[in-house]
Amino acid sequence: MLGAALRRRSCSCVRRRRRLCPTLPSSSGCPASPLCPSPQRILSSPSRSRGVQGSALQPGANKVKPLEGVKILDLTRVLAGPFATMNLGDLGAEVIKVERPGVGDDTRAWGPPFVGTESVYFLSVNRNKKSIAVNMKNPKGAKIIRELAAVSDVFVENYVPGKLAEMGLGYEDINKIAPHVVYCSITGYGQTGPVFQRAGYDSVAAAVSGLMHITGPEDGDPVRPGVAMTDLATGLYTYGAIMAGLLQRYKTGKGLHIDCNLLSSQVACLTHIAANYLNCKMEAKRWGTAHGSIVPYQAFKTKDGYLVVGAGNDQQFVTVCKILNLLEVSKDSRYKTNKLRVQNRKELIEILSARFSEKMTTKWLELFEGSGVPYGPINSMQQVFSDPQVLHNGLIMEMDHPTVGKIAVPGPAVRYSEFSASKPKPPPLVGQHTVEVLKSALGYEDKDIEELLGTGAVVQHEVK
């Protein structure tokens, strides 16, 4: 019944889409947006049914990825945006990555290391995407972006606020021609406010947000985390926000504007550190590998490396003392509770550190195995990617790249019982799919494409 109702609406939707975006080629099909839902795209429009749970299960539905049929127009560069859209691509979305002709995404030049001519940084966060090279400063290029927006479900960008509006590609512009679109902006500081027009990079946002203030040796200088955690956290917030936007559209039939930014993402992630200050006016400090509110919970130097051990409750502390053969310490009145251990941190850590230094890491791993106490070694990359659990969890994803051959990147962190994120498409070359997208998504004819290529509005990369 739902499928029949949706099919009856499809013809009127085509007419409505042309009214909203008259620049679209006459041969282009229905975008299957909230203005034109189809039975295969349950997220595209609210229905009179009882919701997703009430929908009829299609044959082979347990093989279908949740975002199959969702089209994402991706104007993001560097890390936060590409990380978000890569995760959406893993769930089946068609991600069309818009890049500058010639140079492409900034990270294509970030290296060494390179695999052949390809930046490993770029390869790490751009699988499952198609690349189109479009000069958006060219009016014909900007027109293509508007046409693609009209047939897409999601529009993601990470330009300084106002920059895309100058090209007629801001939220208000896209909302006029494609009110169904979930438009997501990623910036350094937000869409409004006293510093909203500043450019945002991970390290700067990590500094301004306080993350660097609390990261590093206890008596040392502030330290940048080993990976761009502010960018990655923003990417994950963006990923979730876009999913929420699609669900909101399912309920209302309308798109919306999502404001994600590095500053807000990182401040939100300060969690208990922020709450300590907001409620107790307790200024944060750096603890190295230790924890301000739990003792012991840190890295201890062994004979040949480091072991991180955490005692989250009093019973686990007693267990740690048994493993270290320090029963008298567990009975010491100064260390009976976590509050007392925090107060007497210095003396206790000195005792534990001396004992941990007596044995090799592997020996301590044997002794802690099965104890119920959280523990683990500090691994190098070589050790990480030979770890049996890492291998079991499928965290090495291999692909055949069109020019450099086999590559490997970290795989998705989440696994699902009803579908798999395996068989990914390799990261694209700049403009590798320009002609394909113009034909399949917009219905452009060969002569129109040749004209665009001739003017430099678009570029097609020829794979040799």
Closest C-alpha to 170, from 194, 151, 192, 149: 149
The upper half-sphere exposure of residue 39, i.e. CA atoms within 13 Å in the direction of its Cβ, equals: 14
Could you give the 3-state DSSP secondary structure of residue 408? strand
Angle separating helix axes 80-90 and 229-252, nearest 10 degrees: 50
CB 264 within 8 A of CB 274: no
Closest C-alpha to 360, from 298, 283, 300: 300
**Cα–Cα distance between 430 and 102 in angstroms, integer?**
7
Could you confirm whether 231 is annotated as catalytic?
A: yes
CB 403 within 8 A of CB 116: yes
Hey, which residues does 212 pair with through a beta bridge? none
CB 417 within 8 A of CB 406: no
Residue 72: what are its φ and ψ, rounded to 5°?
Answer: -120, 120
Residue 389: what are its φ and ψ, rounded to 5°?
Answer: -75, -40
CB 319 within 8 A of CB 370: no
Residues in the chain: 464
Active-site option among 105, 106, 231, 387 = 231
Closest C-alpha to 441, from 209, 94, 161: 94
Closest C-alpha to 130, from 165, 178, 97, 89: 97
The DSSP annotation for 203-229 comes to HHHHHHTTTGGGSS-TTS-----SS-H
What amino acid positions are annotated as catalytic residues?
Answer: 231
